[in-house]
Amino acid sequence: MHISEGLLSAKVCLAGYGITGLITWYSLRKISHSSDPTAGVPKAALLTAAFFVASSIRVPVPPASIHMVLNGLLGAVLDIYAFPAVLVGLLFQAVMFGHGGLSTLGINAVIMGIPALIAAQVFQWHQSLGRHLNRTLSLNLFGFLAGVIGIGLSCLLFLGITILTIPSGFDAATEQTAIRGLTLVHIPLVIVEGIFTSMVVSFLYRVKPELLISSPSSHETSH
Amino acid sequence: MKLAIDQYAHLSSPIHRWDARYKLIGLLTLIFAFAFVEDLRLVPVMLLVVVGLYWLSRLPLEFLTTRLQYPGIFILAMVGILPFLSGETVLWRMGFLTIRQEGSLALILVLSRFLAIFTTGLVLCGTGSFIRLVKAMRSLGLSRILTDMILLVYRYLTELSYQLTTMQHATQLRGFQPLKLNRRNLEIYAALAGSLLVRSYHQSQEVYQAMQLRGYGVTPGSAQAQSRVTLDTYSAIALLITLGVSIGLIGFEVLA
Amino acid sequence: MSEPILNELPKSAIADKTSAIAVGVQVSDLVFSYPHQGIILQNISFTLNLGERVALLGRTGSGKSTLMENLVGLKRPNSGEIQILGTTLGPETLFQVRQQIGFAFQDPNNQLFMPTILEDVIFGPCNYGVPEALAREQADQLLAGFSLSEVAHRSVHELSGGQKRLAALATVLALNPDILILDEPTNGLDPWWRRHLAEILIQLPVQILLIASHDLHWVSRVTQRALVLKQGQIQVDQPTIALLQDRPTLESCGLPPDY
Amino acid sequence: MSEPILNELPKSAIADKTSAIAVGVQVSDLVFSYPHQGIILQNISFTLNLGERVALLGRTGSGKSTLMENLVGLKRPNSGEIQILGTTLGPETLFQVRQQIGFAFQDPNNQLFMPTILEDVIFGPCNYGVPEALAREQADQLLAGFSLSEVAHRSVHELSGGQKRLAALATVLALNPDILILDEPTNGLDPWWRRHLAEILIQLPVQILLIASHDLHWVSRVTQRALVLKQGQIQVDQPTIALLQDRPTLESCGLPPDY
Ligand SMILES: Nc1ncnc2c1ncn2[C@@H]1O[C@H](COP(=O)(O)OP(=O)(O)OP(=O)(O)O)[C@@H](O)[C@H]1O
Ligand SMILES: Nc1ncnc2c1ncn2[C@@H]1O[C@H](COP(=O)(O)OP(=O)(O)OP(=O)(O)O)[C@@H](O)[C@H]1O
Ligand SMILES: [Mg+2]
Ligand SMILES: [Mg+2]
C-alpha cells in the first residue's frame, strides 16, 4: 500500500514532504523536551524494525496469503516516536525493497503515519471508554478498533490520493466504480487486520504489559 | 531478507568518489526535478541523464534489473490499465480492446519518471556505504534522534527478520503447517509477531544499557558527530553540474 | 571421571519401529555456502546408524550449526543429498521427515515464542493432534522434570540463561522424536544440570542422537562416536573416548582437552 | 591441570592510578527482587579489593547475572549500597562510575548493536573522544587478536555463536576498563578459545576482574577467589583452588566438579 515513484506530480510529493516534515518536527520537539531524549531511541528503533519485520509475516488465506500492516498498533506502542518510526521504516522499505520511494516518502508517511496516530488515540480510549468493560474484553475491542482504523484510514487515503491525482482523468463514473470496487475488496482484509491486532494486543498484555503505554497493569496497581 | 543495498559500495567510479554529503544534496534535487517532469518532450532528456548517471556509477546492470522487478510489477499493476480506460482519443481498437492516446501518454510519462527516480535513488544508495550516507545526513543537520534510529533500524532489520525466520523454522520443526485461516493459526501468527515485538523491546533495553555502558548519549559533539568540513572541489563541481541539470529541467517545465 | 555409559540404550524401543532400516541418517557429498561467501561445508559424507549417539565437534565457526540446520532442512545444500530414515530430504518430504526429528537451536530464544513456557511446550504436540488436555498433562511432567514448574507460566524474558536453555530442550523432548539433534545443549547450564541432562539423554529412547558441543568431557559421557569438523570436512570419525585420549589429534583440531 | 597463575598482575598498572583506595568494589546489604516476584538477592555484602580476580559461581537461576547488573547500575537494588572505587553508585554518579567498568552481557546479541562488528568495537572509544582513525586502528588490532578480522565488516547475525561471544568481549576490552565484569564469557567458545581467553585475561592489566561462570576448571585458572551464590546469599567465599578441591561444599552448592 505504498505509492511508487513517478506516480504523483511533484506538487503532491512536496506537499507530502511538507506535512511529514511538520509532524516529524513536532514529534522530535516533544521527544527532545522529554526528560531523557536518548533513552527512547533504541526502543523506538528496535520496535520500528520489529514492526516492519512483523508486518512481513504472511498469513495464509487460501489460495493466497496476506500480510498485516500493524500501523494502528505501532501508533499505540510507540506514542511520540510513532511518526518518526513510520518515516524511518518507510525509508528502509523504499531503499531496500523498492516499496514506495524516495520522492514519495513524504506522502507515504502521511498515508501510514496519520492513521497510526489516530488509531493510537482510539486505542487509549480503552482506559476511559472501556473502563466499564472487563479488562481483556476492552483491550480486545479497542485493539480491534485500532487495527481497523489504522489500516482502514490508510486504505482510504491511499485510494483517494492515487485515484484523484493519477495524471489524465478517468471519467467520473469509472472513478466511482473503481473506488467502490476497491473498497469492497479491502473490507475483509481490514477485518482480519483488526482481529490480528487485537490478538497481538492480548499477547503483549500477557507478556509485556508496559509496552502498551500507560498500560492497564500500572493502572491497576495504582488503585 | 538480504538488504545488500550497498553491496557495490567498494567499486570505484566518479560517483563513488563523490562525497556523500554533496551526493545526497545533488541526487535528491535531481530526484525532485524528475518528479516535476510533466512535459513529454522532457522525457527523453530525463532518461538520457539517468542512463548517463548509471553508466558513470559503474554499477552492474543486473543490480538495477533485479531490484526493479518488484516495484516494476507493482507500478505496472497500478497504471497498466490507463491506456485501455483513460482518455477519449482512440489510437487502436481490436474487438473489445481499445487503446487510448491520453492513457498511453500518461503511462509513458509515469513509467519514465518512475524509472528515472528509481534509478537515481539506487545510484544514491548503491555507490557508497549506507552508514556513510546516514552520517552525511547527520552532518547536514538531520536530527540525531532520527539518524541514530536509522542506524539501529539498519542493524536490527536484518537481525529481526533473521530471528523471525528462525522462529518460523522452529514452528515448522514442531509440526506447524497452517493451510487454512482459523483462530488458532491466526493466534500463532499473532504470537510470532508479539514475540518479535517483546523480544526486540527487551533487546532494546539491553542495547540501551550496553550503549550507555560504552558512553552513549553524554558527550555531545564527540568525534563521531562532527565530520570535518573540507572543501572538496571535485565533489563541489559534481554538485554544481547536478544542480544545473535539475534547474534546467524544472525551469523548462515552468516556462514551457 | 566415570566411564561413558555404553549400550544402555533401550534397544527394544528402536527395534519395534524401523527394524528394516539400519541406516538412520545418510549424508552424501554435501556442499554448502552462505550467499556471497566462501564454502563452509565441502563434500561432507557420513552415515549415522540407528542406535548411535554421536558428537559433532569442531572449532568455533567450523560449521557445526550450519551442518545441523542442513540436516533438518532449514538450510538447503548447494549440492549433495541427505537421507533421513530412508527418505531423501527435499521440499516435498520435508514435513514428513520433520515429524521424526527434534532439533534444539543453539540460541534458545529462537525456540520460545509463545506467551508462556507451558504453551511453548504443548505447541508441538498440539500441532500433531495430541488433545490439549493430554498435552498439558505431559508438559507439566516434563517441566517438573526440568525444575521449571515454578516458571511455567512466565514468558521467556523472565528466565535466567540456563532456564531458557532447559525450557528449549523441554519443547523438543515433548515431541518424542526418533532422531534428536541438539546444538550445544549444555551451553549456559550449571554443573548440576549438565550432569542431570547427561542422565536424561542417556536414558532417552531415541534412535539417533547427534550433539554439537564444546564440552568434550560432558559429550564423552553421552555419546559413543565423535565426528570432528575442520576446514569444511569431517576429518576425524572415532569413538568418543578414544578421541578424548588422543591428545595430538585433539590439539591439531584446535580442541585442547584440558579446557 | 596447570596451576592457576597467581600474582601475575602488573601491579604497577594498578598502583599508579588509585593507590589510595584499597577497596575496589564494596557491596553492603544489597536486596533485589524483580517486580511482582520473590526476593532474588537478600542482604548481600562483600568486598572486592584492588588486584583481585574473583569468580562468581552458583546454580542456574541463582542470581549471578542479576547481581552483576546491579553492580554496573543496570538494575536498581531495593535497598543496600554499592561503592565502586570509592564512589557510591547512584543516578548522579552512574555515568562517571561506568567509565571505569567494562561489562559483558551473558547474551552477546545484546552487546552488538552497530551494523558491523568493527563499528561496534569503535563505538565505545569514539564516545569517549578517541579520534576515529585511532580507534579504528586499535579495533583492527583487537579484532585480529580475536581472529575476527575476516568478519569485521559483517553484521552480527552472520557470525557463529562463538564468534559473537568473541566480538562482544572485544567491544568491552576496547574500552580498557579498570574493572572488568564478565557474565559467562566462555559460553559457546571452543576449547582452544577457552584456553586463549584465559591467557588474555590473566595478562590483562585490570584492577578487578569478576567473572560469572559455570566452567569451574576454567575459572579456577583465571581467578583466585570464588564467591558462591545460593538462596540469594553468598554462602561461600574461598580461594578458587581450595573450593575446587572441596567436593562436599561444591556438591552442596549444586556444583558437581566433574561436570
Ligand atoms: N548467516 C550467515 N551468513 C554468512 N555467514 C555465516 C552465517 N552464519 C554463519 N556464518 C559463517 O559460517 C561459518 C560457520 O558458522 P556456524 O554457525 O555453522 O559455526 P559453528 O561451528 O556452529 O560455530 P560455534 O561453535 O561458534 O557455534 C562461520 O565462519 C560463520 O561466520
Ligand atoms: N526479567 C525478569 N523478571 C522476573 N524474574 C526474572 C527476570 N530475570 C531473571 N529472573 C529470575 O531471577 C532469577 C535469577 O536470574 P539470573 O539471570 O540472575 O540467574 P543466573 O544466576 O544468572 O542464572 P544462569 O546461570 O542461568 O544465567 C531466576 O530465577 C530468574 O527466573
Ligand atoms: Mg554453532
Ligand atoms: Mg546468568
At residue D156 the predicted structure's pLDDT band, cuts being 50, 70 and 90, is confident
Q: What is the pLDDT of residue A61?
A: 77
> Ligand 1: which residue has its CA nearest to atom 14?
C63
In a domain, A154, yes or no: yes
> Ligand 1: which residue has its CA nearest to atom 11?
D159
User: Per-residue pLDDT averaged across B6-11, rounded?
Assistant: 84
Do residues B41 and B65 share a domain? yes
Does C243 contact ligand 1 (Cβ within 6 A)? no
What is the span of the domain harbouring residue A209? Answer: 10-218
How many distinct structural domains can be found in chain B?
Answer: 2
Range list of β-strands (E), chain D: 23-33, 39-49, 53-58, 79-84, 87-88, 101-104, 179-183, 208-212, 225-230, 233-239
Comparing B254 with C214, the larger pLDDT belongs to C214
Contacts C115 to A, Cβ<8 Å: 203, 206-207
**Model confidence over B144-202: pLDDT tens digits?**
889 989 988 988 888 898 889 888 888 888 878 777 778 888 888 999 999 999 989 98
The CATH architecture that domain C6-22+52-72+100-252 belongs to is 3-Layer(aba) Sandwich (3.40)
| Ligand of minimum distance to the alpha carbon of C106 | 3
Q: How far is the CA of C173 from the centre of ligand 3 (A)?
A: 20
Decide: helix, strand or coil at residue D2.
coil
**C5 pLDDT higher than 50:** no
Do residues B115 and B31 share a domain? yes
* Minimum-distance CB partner of C98 among B166, B172, B202: B172
User: Per-residue pLDDT averaged across A4-18, rounded?
Assistant: 88
8-state DSSP, A211: G
A208 and C CB contact within 8 Å:
yes
Are D110 and B222 a contacting pair at CB < 8 A? no
What is the span of the domain harbouring residue B78? Answer: 20-139+231-255
- Give the ipTM of the model, two decimals please: 0.81
Are B86 and A77 a contacting pair at CB < 8 A? no
Comparing C49 with B226, the larger pLDDT belongs to C49
In a domain, A5, yes or no: no
Q: What is the pLDDT of residue B152?
A: 87
**C52 pLDDT higher than 90:** yes
In a domain, A173, yes or no: yes
B71 and A CB contact within 8 Å:
yes
How many distinct structural domains can be found in chain A?
Answer: 1
CATH number at residue A103: 1.10.1760.20
Are D61 and C162 a contacting pair at CB < 8 A? yes
In a domain, A4, yes or no: no
Q: What is the pLDDT of residue A170?
A: 60
Contacts A7 to B, Cβ<8 Å: 75, 78-79, 110, 113-114
* Minimum-distance CB partner of B207 among D110, D155, D171: D110
Q: How far is the CA of C191 from the centre of ligand 4 (A)?
A: 14
Q: How far is the CA of B212 from the centre of ligand 4 (A)?
A: 20
> Ligand 2: which residue has its CA nearest to atom 29?
D61
User: Per-residue pLDDT averaged across D101-115, rounded?
Assistant: 86
Q: What is the pLDDT of residue D9?
A: 39
Contacts C128 to B, Cβ<8 Å: 175
Residues in chain D whose Cβ is within 8 Å of chain C: 1-2, 34, 58-61, 65, 106-107, 109, 158-163, 166, 184, 187-195, 198, 214, 216-218, 254-259
For residue C246, what is its C-alpha cell? 588422543
In a domain, A2, yes or no: no
Which of C33, C34, C106 is the pocket-test mutation for ligand 1 (most atoms within 8 Å of CB)? C34
Residue-by-residue DSSP string for chain C: -PPP-TT-S-HHHHHHHHTT--EEEEEEEEEEE-TTS-EEEEEEEEEEETT-EEEEEE-TTSSHHHHHHHHTTSS--SEEEEEETTEE-STTTHHHHHTTEEEE-SSGGGG--SSSHHHHHHHHHHHTT--HHHHHHHHHHHHHHTT-GGGTTS-GGGS-HHHHHHHHHHHHHTT--SEEEEESTTTT--HHHHHHHHHHHHH---SEEEEE-S-HHHHHHH-SEEEEEETTEEEEEEEHHHHHH-HHHHHHTT--TT-
Q: What is the pLDDT of residue D4?
A: 41
Q: Which residue has the cell 491525482?
A: A165
Neighbours of D42 (CB within 10 A): 17
Are B91 and B99 contacting, i.e. CB atoms less than 8 angstroms apart? yes
In a domain, A21, yes or no: yes
Comparing C6 with B39, the larger pLDDT belongs to B39
Atom of ligand 1 nearest to the CA of C36: 4
In B, minimum Cα distance to C106 occurs at B166
| CA-wise closest residue to D258 among C246, C201, C202, C218 | C218
Q: What is the pLDDT of residue B217?
A: 63
Are C114 and B174 a contacting pair at CB < 8 A? no
Neighbours of C179 (CB within 10 A): 22
In a domain, B226, yes or no: no
Where in chain C are the domains?
Answer: 6-22+52-72+100-252
Q: How far is the CA of A41 from the centre of ligand 2 (A)?
A: 26
Which of C157, C159, C160 is the pocket-test mutation for ligand 2 (most atoms within 8 Å of CB)? C160
In a domain, A1, yes or no: no
Average pLDDT, chain B: 84
